[in-house]
Structure formats: structure tokens, C-alpha cells
Amino acid sequence: MTASNLQLKQRYKPNVSHFLALCGRNYSHMLKWLPLEIAVGESWRLEGEFGILVMRILENTKYTQLVEISRPLAIRDFINTPKVLVRIYHDAKLAEVLTSQQIYQLRPVYDYPNVRMYQSDEKYQVNAFLEELLKIGYQHSVVCQP
């Protein structure tokens, strides 16, 4: 087996059904914290036993919403505030991360290694990170307008 055949054989192939299941779980988590009536530009805080999330509506259309989610940290001098932009598709019942930190547009698959050292499944991992962020208030949640 040549090196090029070995490289083709080991290339990452995304599992679309796992990714859609993750986006579906994220959608159901988002619905728990999303106010029914909210205007573009409005924000709210979710306080849970594991910390605080700040959410802000950037777009609000008939079938989709664009939400910015950040988690303020007490030590922000040393660590950037984790932040993601999430597109919520109400017709498909999915929530997908569009951007995260320094990644302005997530690609489905990255060649590895690459200049920025993104993982081959970076898009899946960022959406899994969103799922963990949304679990912040599972036990005792309070939604309030700041």
C-alpha cells in the first residue's frame, strides 16, 4: 500500500447522522432557555449551578434566529471569554454553531495537519462544546434580563 493510498484511507469522514443528532440536542437545550418573545439586540442571562451564560439575539426571522452565547469568566485577563454564534433552525429543530472564537466560518472538515491546527472534526467538536455550555444550568436555572 502506497503512502497516498494510506492517506486516503485514513482521511476523516464526518458522520452526518451523529452531527444532526448533536444539533438536535442543542436545539432542545436552547428551547429551555430561549424566551418566547424577544427582540433583536435584547440579551438575557442564564444562571446555573456551574456558572453564567449571557445570550443575545442578533437576528430574528420567521424560521431562524441567530444567538450569541458567551460565558463571562472572572479571570478574563488571562483567558478570552468563550463565545459562539449559534443559528437556530426552528423549522428543522436544529441549532448549529456558525462561528467560535477566532474561527469565523466553520468548515465541515479540515485537512490535518493545517496551518491553524484545527482538528479534522473541528465543527463537530465546537457543537459538542455548545452542548456542554448549555448544560450549565440543568439543576437550578434562572433566566433574567440584565
Q: What is the pTM of this model?
A: 0.73
27-67 pLDDT tens trace:
999 998 888 888 999 998 888 777 788 899 999 999 999 99
- For the segment 94-113, the average pLDDT, to the nearest whole number, is 70
Q: Name the CA dihedral angle for 146, 95, 26, 47, rounded to a multiple of 10 degrees.
A: 0
CA–CA gap between residue 27 and residue 47 (Å, rounded): 19
Ramachandran class of 101: left when φ > 0, alpha when ψ lies in -120 to 50, beta otherwise: left
63-100 pLDDT tens trace:
999 999 988 877 766 777 778 899 999 999 999 998 87
Mean confidence (pLDDT) of the chain: 77
Helix 122-134 with 16-33: angle, nearest 10 deg? 30
* Residue scoring higher pLDDT (136 or 133): 133
Closest CA to 145 of 10, 69, 42: 42
Cα 133 to chain centroid distance, Å, stands at 8
